[in-house]
Amino acid sequence: MPPPPDLNEEKIREWQPRFWAKLIGLVVIACWVIAFVIENHKKVSLHFVLFTATVSLIWLILLILALGILCGAWLAQLHRRRNN
């Protein structure tokens, strides 16, 4: 097992601001996600051609996001194949 790297005070001071910036960023993102879920918990009716579903608004938003990401990836692959 290799010995631990030599940590002097300069390296520790250099590392600390990045650590705190990342930690603060993660806390802000976590708070935003919690607020997003709380604000979008109400039920909405989703009408299809043959039936109607009642779902929480947050699940509808996440479903549309996932479909958008999948369709975007699929279209990027089609575009890449046509250009080759």
Indicate whether 3 pLDDT > 60: no
Q: 3-class SS at 4?
A: coil
Q: What residues are paired with 47 via a beta bridge? A: 52
Contact between residue 75 and residue 83 where contact means Cβ atoms under 8 Å apart: no
The residue ranges of every structural domain in the chain are 11-83
Give per-residue pLDDT as tens, 46-77.
888 899 989 888 888 888 999 999 999 999 99
Other CB atoms within 10 A of residue 35 CB: 10
Distances in whole angstroms, Cα of residue 82 to Cα of each of 70, 74, 78: 19, 13, 6
Higher pLDDT, 12 or 71: 71
